[in-house]
Amino acid sequence: MASLPADTPLLSPRSGRVKTARRLARRVSRAEHRLFLAEGPQAVREAFTVPGCVREVFASPAAAAGHADLRDAAEAAGVPWQPVDDAALASLTETVSPQGVVAVCRFLDEPFVDVLARAPRLLAVCADVRDPGNAGTVIRCADAAGAGGVVLTGSSVDPYNGKAVRASVGSLFHLPLSLEPGTTDVVAALRAAGVTVLAADGAGELDLDDAQDDGLLAGPTAWLFGNEAWGLPDETAALADHRVRIPIHGRAESLNLATAAAVCLYYSARAQRRPNR
């Protein structure tokens, strides 16, 4: 890896390249260019594992010195490495303490039909999930559970929102992602493909433990998760094969969306990996 000369000029917030990248903080600009910002060494490192994903990297001198592997990855991929001053870096980030490196990345989502064509054993479907932190965390949980993809439907949040990207902690770059306007169409396609659709519902008629004991989780499964505030509307939950509730053994009223998703996905992952008895 060639090191930067000591007198290499640092781009400021007034630089045209920095200004262009900064516009990607707005959803309309992201959608127009199909590009987004990934902040932090971990996210940038994972982005480089996807061929052609990273288009440009902005980094402080300290980040360049401390993360030589990222410089090497950029050089190997022919990706421009832009040294920036602290003010420019801060203008590209949304965090109080920037992590020193930001990458401009291409969108990763693909049509749902392509995701379904791979015959995934486990999927997470988020219907009208509005909080970017929750969306990113569900993506992370799905990745950890070995799911074959995440589908965001309806009026769900933009997964390329900075907070969602950070909450995924790099998992956004690991598994297929699809954005679809119609939850009904997605559920219909899943059921037609022989995938069991389970709606996570606190008032569900089926207990998650019973679902596991009955072998319901062992086959190809898609979990349908609803909005943080109001959950799944009755008409949406009714599309699923079963409504499944997570048993609450203590006095907690309920679990939040990300925690419920982690529990459901891991129950399914365990059931699918168990040898037949």
For domain 16-106, which CATH number applies: 3.30.1330.30, 3.40.50.2300, 3.40.50.720, 3.50.50.60?
3.30.1330.30
pLDDT value at position 5? 53
pTM: 0.92
Parse the chain into domains and list their residue ranges: 16-106, 112-273
Predicted confidence (pLDDT) per residue in 61-106, tens digit:
988 888 999 999 999 999 999 999 999 999 999 888 888 999 999 9
Q: Region 142-164: what's the mean pLDDT?
A: 96
C-alpha dihedral (60, 63, 64, 66), degrees to nearest 10: 160
The residues near 146 (Cβ < 8 Å, ≥ 6 apart) are: 122, 269
153: helix, coil or strand? Answer: strand
Neighbours of 220 (CB within 10 A): 17
Does residue 183 surpass a pLDDT of 80?
Answer: yes
In CATH, the number for domain 112-273 is: 3.40.1280.10
pLDDT value at position 259? 94
User: Element (H or E) spanning 35, and its range?
Assistant: strand 35-39
Task: Of 97, 170, 94, 180, give the one whose Cα is nearest residue 137.
Answer: 170
